[in-house]
A and B are shown apart, each in its own frame.
Chain A
Amino acid sequence: MSAIASNTDGASCAVPQAASSRHMNPYLAGFGIGVMLLLAFLIMGRGLGATAAFGSLVAWASGLISPEWTAANPALKGYFADPPAANWTLYLMVGAFVGALVSALLARRVHWRIERGPQLSVNGRLALAFGGGAVSAMGAKLALGCTSGQALTGGAQLNVGSWVFMLAVFAGAYLLAYFVRKEWR
């Protein structure tokens, strides 16, 4: 149980071997995700996604304040056309939450934690998580999709814009990695 202890004291980026070896073989996990993606294509005629789930919730909240403004906003009106209860991607994300929860429960990986390198404070890590999330959202909106909706889905469809997006994601992260290394190491 030393893995869990080290996670709660914040140095979880140095996970002992015993904990990481409980993960599935990456090629097998990738095959599993690929099968889910293929089934989405074959059954629904669309791929996986995540951004639209949160877009739907933000548009719903915005609509509580001003339905007129929300229905006219270029970034929200697409989500606002239907309520969250009819948003396909939101159902996908609810399913993903439950699937990840069941997987983590069975692997005894459910525990409260703030993951970060040993040199970063909890508040510092949470501020970076919030800021990174906000930058990601703007990138995903601009690119018309995120790692799921663009990289995975469009990548498998041999979509030109998706491959440009995917290479840019890796380039952006590798370029910045050196400057934020203290966050993770």
Chain B
Amino acid sequence: MDATLPLYFFEVISDAQGLLVALGLGFGFGWFLERAGFGSSCRLCAQFYLYDMTVLKVMFTAIVTAAVGLWVFSAAGLLDLSGVYLTPTSLGAQLAGGLMLGAGFIIGGYCPGTSVAASASGSGDGMVFLLGFAAGLAIYAVALPGLELWAKANSVGTLTLPQLWHLPYGAVVLALVIAAGLAFAGAEWSERKFAYLKPAAPNSR
């Protein structure tokens, strides 16, 4: 059977239909972020004080789900992986940018996507985070345009773990599933071990 996915790549759907798809997928994305409790900066940042590992559990489950799905659809010949956009790897830029985003996360309480979910439920700190995010983009564009060029100049192009390690795609997906299982076990252990760090509720004895 010939691959017909991604639909947009094979021009089965138009640009305008793609925007409707974005609204629908966004609705689901925002719904599950809010359901997970990610509209709350306190709950998100609890990840970094060890007694609430929700962020790790949600992120890794999402990654494993989509990674296994990608592999199944491409192994079945239904999906042409070359039609799925892959962000180029630029190690120094992604290391430094990741450290900055992590710092912004613990200081500001959110990442961009979760601050949208927080703002939707009335969080003033989520709304101000978004304003700061827009301001940061403007500052970057005005003051640091050279960084963008540096990041692109140091790009090694698209690079995946199976290519880097010379392993079959399915083997790395299997390793990811096993690693996620170990991470989940570690997360459950951490929540039990550090439960005493959880702030006491002021009005619920």
Complex: chain B residue closest to A42, CB-CB: B5
Scoring B residues 129 to 143 as 1 if CB is less than 8 Å from chain A, else 0, what string do you get?
111111111111100
Contacts of A44 in B (CB 8 A): 6-8, 18, 21-22
How many B residues touch A, CB cutoff 8 Å?
A: 133
Q: A24-B35, A161-B91, A161-B159 are in contact. Are A177 and B128 (CB under 8 A)?
A: no
Contacts of A100 in B (CB 8 A): 30-31, 33-34, 39, 116-118, 120-121
A117 to B202, CA, bound (A): 11
Contacts of B122 in A (CB 8 A): 104, 110-113
Is A81 part of the binding interface, using a Cβ–Cβ cutoff of 8 Å?
no
**Which A residues between 27 and 71 are near B, CB-CB below 8 angstroms?**
27, 29-48, 50-51, 54-55, 57-58, 62
Is B185 part of the binding interface, using a Cβ–Cβ cutoff of 8 Å?
no
A43 to B204, CA, bound (A): 47
A43 to B25, CA, bound (A): 10
Contacts of A86 in B (CB 8 A): 15, 19
Contacts of B27 in A (CB 8 A): 95-96, 98-99, 102
Complex: chain B residue closest to A166, CB-CB: B98
A3 to B135, CA, bound (A): 33
Is B75 part of the binding interface, using a Cβ–Cβ cutoff of 8 Å?
no
Contacts of B21 in A (CB 8 A): 40, 43-44
- With beta carbons under 8 angstroms apart, the residue of A15, A50, A126, A177 that contacts B49 is A177
Contacts of A73 in B (CB 8 A): 141, 145
Are A104 and B39 in contact (CB-based, < 8 A)? yes
Contacts of A147 in B (CB 8 A): 59, 101, 105, 111-114
A134 to B135, CA, bound (A): 6
Are B8 and A26 in contact (CB-based, < 8 A)? no
A12 to B46, CA, bound (A): 12
- With beta carbons under 8 angstroms apart, the residue of A38, A50, A176, A183 that contacts B112 is A50
Contacts of B9 in A (CB 8 A): 45
Are B133 and A134 in contact (CB-based, < 8 A)? yes
- With beta carbons under 8 angstroms apart, the residue of B18, B48, B112, B135 that contacts A173 is B48
Are B28 and A99 in contact (CB-based, < 8 A)? yes
Complex: chain A residue closest to B89, CB-CB: A161
Scoring B residues 98 to 129 as 1 if CB is less than 8 Å from chain A, else 0, what string do you get?
11111111111111111111111111111011
Is B66 part of the binding interface, using a Cβ–Cβ cutoff of 8 Å?
yes
Complex: chain B residue closest to A144, CB-CB: B87
A166 to B98, CA, bound (A): 7
Are B137 and A176 in contact (CB-based, < 8 A)? no
A129 to B64, CA, bound (A): 31
**Which B residues between 1 and 45 are near A, CB-CB below 8 angstroms?**
5-9, 13, 15, 18-37, 39-43, 45
Are B89 and A180 in contact (CB-based, < 8 A)? no
Contacts of A116 in B (CB 8 A): 41-42, 125
Are B66 and A156 in contact (CB-based, < 8 A)? yes
A52 to B117, CA, bound (A): 16
Contacts of B105 in A (CB 8 A): 132, 136, 147, 169, 172-173
5 A/B residue pairs, CB under 8 Å, sorted by A: A104-B121, A130-B108, A147-B59, A164-B91, A168-B95
10 smallest CB-CB distances across A and B, nearest first, come from: A132-B108, A95-B26, A172-B102, A34-B65, A133-B132, A168-B98, A143-B97, A30-B61, A137-B136, A139-B100
Other 13 A-B pairs with CB < 8 A, given A48-B113, A140-B101: A6-B201, A30-B36, A33-B33, A33-B61, A74-B148, A133-B108, A136-B104, A137-B133, A137-B136, A140-B112, A144-B88, A144-B90, A153-B87
